[in-house]
Amino acid sequence: MADLHPQRASQPVNLAQKAALIEQQWSPRVVAEMNDYQFKVVRIEGEFIWHSHPETDEAFLVLEGTLRIDLPEGSVYVQPGELYVVPRGVEHRTAAQAETKLMMIEPRGVLNTGHEGGERTAVNDVWI
């Protein structure tokens, strides 16, 4: 049976290189999988929509720039090399004043807009 996952090869994944290949902002692309979890890179700028993921936590690792995560109790600023986990069910909105590149870690099948939907919902399982 052919391996359907391009990143299960013997080479490490260069996150900065993968992020540079993404043409559109707010379009997460899968770079690796581990069990049922996907590692996605994304380029963002501006503000996303408020949403939550009732079924799972969501992790953000900043590669370049500054990520702002708005939460009900205030905002958290995540710098390059820093990781922040939004607990399941917590409403949040990601934002960046200037273009920011980050990696998201979440279970396969999780929509970027949670149950909110709308025009910002990205297609899942797109590898880069």
| Per-residue confidence (pLDDT) for residue 10, from 0 to 100 | 73
> What predicted TM-score, i.e. pTM, was given to this entire model?
0.86
pLDDT band at 5 (very low <50, low <70, confident <90, very high): low
What are phi and psi for residue 86, nearest 5 degrees?
-90, 120
* Angle value at C-alpha 98, between 86 and 113, nearest 5 degrees: 40
Q: Is the pLDDT of residue 19 over 50?
A: yes
- Closest by alpha carbon to 51, among 29, 70, 67? 70
| Per-residue confidence (pLDDT) for residue 123, from 0 to 100 | 75
pLDDT band at 2 (very low <50, low <70, confident <90, very high): very low
| Per-residue confidence (pLDDT) for residue 85, from 0 to 100 | 98
Strands 58-64, 83-86: pairing kind: antiparallel
Distances (CA, A) of 103 to 16, 36, 45, 61, 77: 10, 16, 14, 5, 15
What pLDDT, in 10s, does the model give residues 51-100? Answer: 999 999 999 999 999 999 999 999 999 999 999 999 999 999 999 999 99
Q: Between residues 118 and 54, which one has the greater pLDDT?
A: 54
The helix or strand, by DSSP H or E, that contains position 20, with its residue range, turns out to be helix 15-21
